[in-house]
Amino acid sequence: MNNNTVKKSREKDDKKNTDKVNTLDKKTYEKNENQQTHASSHTSQSCVIIGGTQTKPLFVPIRADWQRNAALHYNLNGKISFDRNFISQELDAPSRIQPIIGDGNCFFRCISYIVSGWEKHFHFFRSKLIQHMQLISQLCTPLLNRNEDVDQYIARTKMATNNTWATQTEIFVMSHLLKTDIFIYTNSGNNYQWLRHSGQFLDRNMVVHNQCIYLNHHNRNHYEVVLEVAKNSIPENFQKETIYKELQNQSNKAQQHLQSGTQTLIYTEQKTNIDIENCDKQTNISKQEKNRLKVLKWRNQGNNRKEENKRKRNNSTNRGRKRNKTKEKKLTRSKR
């Protein structure tokens, strides 16, 4: 069997699994299709959910804490390859991607990179997925063909062997294993879409992590890790509207007010310093104000004396240490 026939058979299995998932969760899928949200004014993206429930389409990638905990859980030595802090933004087309070796293990290489920061543990995650699939064999029945169990599926697809492509079945099982939703950016016809694979499709009572995994399905035959997505700018038609202009005016006024406030604060501080220094010479202020300024002046003088004494003590201690060192050196020389 040549490579072309193997590729066609894998694509056929992937298509069958996709159709099976869509028919099983038809109501949810049709509802999400009707509620597609455009993520950009230039490209019409949509967040289609296969399994699970509809959520707001935001880009919330995994962070360093998730990666560290996952690596410790699987006893893997790795490196932190994700930011510690990340501000969520609207889900859009990928703008920065981590390249992954394309050898048939690209999906498992992606998972290995996401968990450990290296691709070299892909064999480990393939075997972990097979073990987990056998462990939750009853939950996997919606993803399999009729009259087929998990062992038969693994034998038919040769999923336990190296260089075997992962399908949607493996993506769902991996999402259930990691308790983390996996988003796949792929083309559907002429449009590119984000497909969410949630472990809740297999177990609706499962609690998933609030951070997600994002992969790019390049040419529908290769997976890559999505690190960043395009940041949406404000559409031009919205910039012309009065609401946007009003918000912009308010922000400009707030900045001007803040700048004027800082300038006034600097001026008052300078004025008080001048008043404190020349409180005895001024005649246009009351007796109480003069006393208050004198007290402030004495406090400033006291603070200055304290700082000066502290500086002298530090100098004296340093000189004492130098004397002790010289004495020690002399003693050591005399002993010799």
The last residue of a domain, from among 217, 233, 249: 233
Do residues 19 and 46 share a domain?
Answer: yes
Do residues 168 and 241 share a domain?
Answer: no
Do residues 228 and 277 share a domain?
Answer: no
Do residues 56 and 192 share a domain?
Answer: yes
Q: First and final CA of the chain: distance in angstroms?
A: 88
How high is the pLDDT of residue 14?
54
Do residues 156 and 19 share a domain?
Answer: yes
Distance CA 286, CA 284 (A): 7
The last residue of a domain, from among 208, 233, 258: 233
Q: Which residues pair with 224 in a beta bridge?
A: 216
Q: What single string gives the DSSP state of each residue in 47-112? A: EEEESS-----EE-B--HHHHHHHHHHTT------S-S----EE--SEEEEE----SS-HHHHHHH
Q: What is the mean pLDDT of residues 202-222?
A: 92
Q: What is the mean pLDDT of residues 237-264?
A: 57
Do residues 309 and 193 share a domain?
Answer: no
Sign of the CA dihedral running 265, 271, 276, 282: negative
Do residues 168 and 210 share a domain?
Answer: yes
Distance CA 142, CA 333 (A): 88
Q: Which domain holds residue 70?
A: 3-233
| Segment (H or E) for 109 | helix 106-116
- CB half-sphere exposure, 40, CA atoms < 13 A: 17
R_g over Cα of the chain = 34
267 to 84, 271, 274, 296: CA distances (angstroms): 41, 6, 11, 18
Q: Kindly report the backbone phi and psi dihedral angles of residue 88, in degrees, each rounded to the nearest multiple of 5, phi listed first.
A: -65, 145
pLDDT tens for 144-187 read 998 899 999 999 999 999 999 999 999 999 999 999 999 999 98
The CB density around residue 74, as the number of other CB atoms within 10 Å, is 15
Residue 271 has pLDDT above 60, yes or no: no
Do residues 225 and 244 share a domain?
Answer: no
How high is the pLDDT of residue 258?
59
Residue 131 binned pLDDT confidence (cut-offs 50, 70, 90): very high
52 contacts 181 by C-beta, under 8 angstroms = yes
The last residue of a domain, from among 233, 253, 286: 233
Number of domains in the chain: 2
Q: Going by DSSP bridges, is the β-strand pair 191-197/182-188 parallel, antiparallel, or unpaired?
A: antiparallel
Do residues 144 and 290 share a domain?
Answer: no
Residue 237 has pLDDT above 90, yes or no: no
**What is the number of residues in the chain?**
336
pLDDT tens for 14-63 read 555 544 444 444 443 333 333 333 333 333 344 555 544 455 578 999 99
Do residues 191 and 280 share a domain?
Answer: no
CATH of the domain at 139: 3.90.70.80
CA angle 195, 126, 9 (to 5 degrees): 65
Do residues 116 and 254 share a domain?
Answer: no
Return mean pLDDT, the chain.
Answer: 75
Residue 219 has pLDDT above 80, yes or no: yes
Residue 315 or residue 112, greater confidence: 112
Q: Is this model's pTM higher than 0.95 or not?
A: no
Do residues 283 and 221 share a domain?
Answer: no
